[in-house]
Amino acid sequence: MSPQNLQTLLEFFKALGNESRLKLLGILSQRECSVEELAALLHLKEPTVSHHLAKLKALNLVTLTPQGNTHLYRLNPDQLQDLSKAILTPEQLAGFTTEVKPQDWETKVLQTFVVDDRITDIPASRKKRSVILKWLVRKFEYDRDYSEKEINTLIQSHHWDSATLRREFIGYNLMTRSNSIYRRQPETEWRDESSEFN
């Protein structure tokens, strides 16, 4: 998301983060009103209403029509739609996460469950468990056959429960097993449980 769009979005939410301004937009979405009418409807002072309208007008969310000595305000639905299309899209909102890296979360999981290269506990959460299993399976060489004894020995150097972790390797598609021979799968074949935060 561009800095300009980000600033517009912040101003938009700031403008709508006020109860009185939301009520103003609600009224103006139904009919045109003067400052005097709005003040009476919302039980606010006219300068206060004018202040709120100025904030909304700065974002072009309301339009102003002169009528003699009075100004009539109305919601600008086109601007609301334009803002929604330009800024409030999943793609634009995803721009906020450019500095949020999934690996930061994975690092935190590893720091929680791995101490001195040993797994302190097997997480109950499937996503967290996936992080631990992927860390552990990377201890095995790719494109090499392992006997069950070799698998157990290496796993037990990191956690005592080799039977559970060995089964999880298969369940998460991190390894294949055929005739008690294990082989590490390519990472493209691994089941992805850790793409979302948990």
DSSP 8-state class, residue 189: G
Are 37 and 94 in a shared domain? yes
| Of the residues 99, 120, 135, the one at which a domain ends | 99
Are 15 and 68 in a shared domain? yes
| Of the residues 78, 99, 120, the one at which a domain ends | 99
> Which token pair is 90?
């999943």
CATH at residue 13:
1.10.10.10
Cα 195 to its chain centre, rounded Å, is: 11
What CA–CA distance (Å, rounded) separates 162 from 153?
8
Name the nearest CA neighbour of 70 among 33, 30, 24, 45: 33
Q: Is residue 57 part of a domain?
A: yes
Q: Is residue 163 part of a domain?
A: yes
Are 31 and 8 in a shared domain? yes
Q: How many helices (H) and strands (E) does the chain have?
A: 10, 7
175-178 and 181-184 as β-strands: parallel, antiparallel, unpaired? antiparallel
Are 121 and 172 in a shared domain? yes
| Of the residues 69, 99, 129, the one at which a domain ends | 99
What CA–CA distance (Å, rounded) separates 55 from 73?
13
Are 135 and 109 in a shared domain? yes
Confidence at residue 93, expressed as pLDDT on a 0 to 100 scale:
56
Are 116 and 146 in a shared domain? yes
Are 114 and 93 in a shared domain? no
Confidence at residue 123, expressed as pLDDT on a 0 to 100 scale:
93
Q: Is residue 37 part of a domain?
A: yes
Are 60 and 107 in a shared domain? no
Are 39 and 79 in a shared domain? yes
Q: Is residue 180 part of a domain?
A: yes
Supply the range of the domain harboring residue 37.
3-99
Cα separations in angstroms, 120 against 48, 94, 97, 112, 133: 60, 35, 31, 8, 13
**Quick check: pTM over 0.75?**
no
What CA–CA distance (Å, rounded) separates 59 from 12?
7
Are 81 and 141 in a shared domain? no
Confidence at residue 47, expressed as pLDDT on a 0 to 100 scale:
94
Total structural domains within the chain: 2
Q: Is residue 197 part of a domain?
A: no
> Which token pair is 174?
């991190």
Confidence at residue 192, expressed as pLDDT on a 0 to 100 scale:
72
Q: Is residue 196 part of a domain?
A: no
What CA–CA distance (Å, rounded) separates 135 from 194?
12
DSSP string, 89-157: SHHHHHGGGGG--HHHHHHHHHHHHEETTEES---SSHHHHHHHHHHHHTTSPTT-EEEHHHHHHHHHT
Q: Is residue 194 part of a domain?
A: no
Are 15 and 94 in a shared domain? yes
DSSP string, 17-46: TSHHHHHHHHHHTTS-B-HHHHHHHHT--H
Cα 82 to its chain centre, rounded Å, is: 23
CATH at residue 117:
1.10.10
Q: Is residue 195 part of a domain?
A: no
Are 83 and 167 in a shared domain? no
Q: In a structure prediction context, what are the per-residue pLDDT tens digits for the chain, which is 198 residues long?
A: 566 666 777 787 788 888 899 899 889 999 899 999 999 999 999 999 999 999 999 888 999 988 888 889 999 988 878 777 766 666 655 555 555 565 778 889 999 999 999 999 999 999 999 999 999 999 999 889 999 999 999 999 999 999 999 999 999 999 999 999 999 999 888 887 644 434
Confidence at residue 88, expressed as pLDDT on a 0 to 100 scale:
63
